[in-house]
Amino acid sequence: MKLGKEFRIGFFVTVILAVSFALINFLRGKDIFNREMTVISHYDDVAGLVPSAPVYVKGYKAGTVTGVEYDPQTGMFEVSCSVLRDFRIPADSRMTLYSTDIMGGKGIRIDLGTSDEAAANRAVLEPYFEQDFMSTVTSGIGPLAEKVSSAVDSLSAAVENVNRIMAAVDPASVSRTLAHIESAMSEVEALSEKIGGKSGELVSFIDNLENVSERLSAIMEKADTTVSNINGITSAIDRSDIEGLAASFRSLLDKIQDPDGSIGRLLEGGEVYESVDALLSDIDSLVRKIEQNPKKYFRISVF
């Protein structure tokens, strides 16, 4: 039985269409043998993600993006991805939209979760957006540019202030000031050299000061002891002894002044009497002063 020419042409066209359909779906990332499952997530911004973008699991290209559809009611994008069933995807996994290269090409990375329950076909996973390198650099350039601009403005203001100050300053005065500063620095250097040359003598001088300080400390201890002794001696002097001495002097004066006594008759009416009377007055004054301030007349010398 021979097939007609029309049948052969129709069969050939059908085979070509089937192969083309399978090839096109394969190139588009669709599974024509039902070896893949679909996972879905929702984003408010897809950042240029398009269908046929790669889907990675653990760094392996495990599928492709099969659809990016916008829902006008929610204002969100529904992203569908086909993933090989060989990969077990936990239900708490998330779909991360990220840049696959430095030029900003977008792709999906499925970050596996830890749940014991596996995601079913057309399961909705948690969305996540990861900024690419260029976005990070661009977002950092804006604040940096503002800071640089502010710093430039501050520098310009500072330069203007310096120029205004310099315009009001006499250059000759500035030159004299710099000359004085240079002279002072020279003197400081000379003094530093002299001090450096006398470092040994300075050390010796400091040692001598330490020795003198130690000796003064010892002398002060002895002085404290001596003052304590003087206080003890002063306390030991009984005021009653001084009063007894004054009473003795008064008794002697009474006998001398008695006109019936031998001394009174001897001195009465003559120069000797007047001299003795003046002496007795001085002695009486001395006794009174001793009574008033005994420490003034009874001094003890330690050194």
Q: What percent of the chain has pLDDT over 70?
A: 64
What's the mean per-residue pLDDT of the chain?
76
Is 93 domain-assigned?
Answer: yes
Residue 43 sits in the same domain as residue 123:
yes
Q: 125 and 93 in contact (C-beta within 8 Å)?
A: yes
Query: Domain check: are 216 and 251 in the same one?
Result: no
Which DSSP category does 118 fall into?
B
Nearest-angstrom CA–CA distance, 279 and 263: 14
The alpha carbon dihedral of 209, 211, 212, 218 has a sign of: positive
Is the domain of 92 the same as that of 13?
no
Asked if the model's pLDDT at residue 184 lies above 60, the reply is: yes
Tally of domains within the chain: 5
271-301 confidence digits (pLDDT tens): 555 665 676 677 777 777 766 776 665 554 4
| Three-class secondary structure of residue 173 per DSSP | helix
37 and 126 assigned to the same domain: yes
Pick the more confident residue, 105 or 223. Answer: 105
Q: Summarize pLDDT for 104-148 with one digit per residue, the tens.
A: 789 999 999 999 999 999 899 999 998 766 566 555 666 777 787
Looking at 70, 103, 130, which one is the last position of a domain? 130
State yes or no: pLDDT of 53 exceeds 80: yes
Decide which of 153 and 118 is more confident.
118
Say which range, 19-33, 51-65, 235-249, has the weakest mean pLDDT.
235-249
Q: Are residues 22 and 49 in the same domain?
A: no
Is 302 among the domain residues?
no
- Tokens 């020279």 correspond to 186
> Quick one: 80 and 153 in the same domain?
no
Query: According to the model, what pLDDT value does residue 253 have?
Result: 60
- Asked if residue 78 and residue 43 are part of one domain, the reply reads yes
Mean pLDDT of 12-32: 74
Residue with tokens 């990375």: 109
Question: Terminus-to-terminus CA distance in the chain, angstroms?
Answer: 159
The CATH number that applies at residue 50 is 2.40.30
H helix or E strand, kind and range, residue 80? strand 76-84
pLDDT, residue 140, reads 61
Query: Are 42 and 118 part of one and the same domain?
Result: yes
Domain end (from 229, 249, 273):
229
30-39, 95-104, 137-146, 242-251: range with lowest mean pLDDT: 242-251
Per the domain annotation, does 217 fall within a domain?
yes
Q: How confident is the model at residue 94 (pLDDT cuts 50, 70, 90)?
A: very high
Residue 60 pLDDT grade (very low, low, confident, very high; cuts 50, 70, 90):
very high
Choosing from 149, 168, 187, the residue where a domain stops is: 168
Cβ contacts of 9 within 8 Å, gap of 6 or more: none
Does position 46 have pLDDT exceeding 70, yes or no? Answer: yes
Q: Which residues pair with 279 in a beta bridge?
A: none
208 and 163 in a single domain? The answer is: no
Question: Do 37 and 125 belong to one domain?
Answer: yes
Considering the domain architecture, whether residues 52 and 120 belong to the same structural domain is answered as yes
Give a yes or no: residue 251 inside a domain: yes
Q: Is residue 200 part of a domain?
A: yes
Domain containing 184 equals: 170-229
The predicted structure's pLDDT at residue 303: 45
Flag whether 224 is in a domain: yes
38 and 124 both lie in a single domain = yes
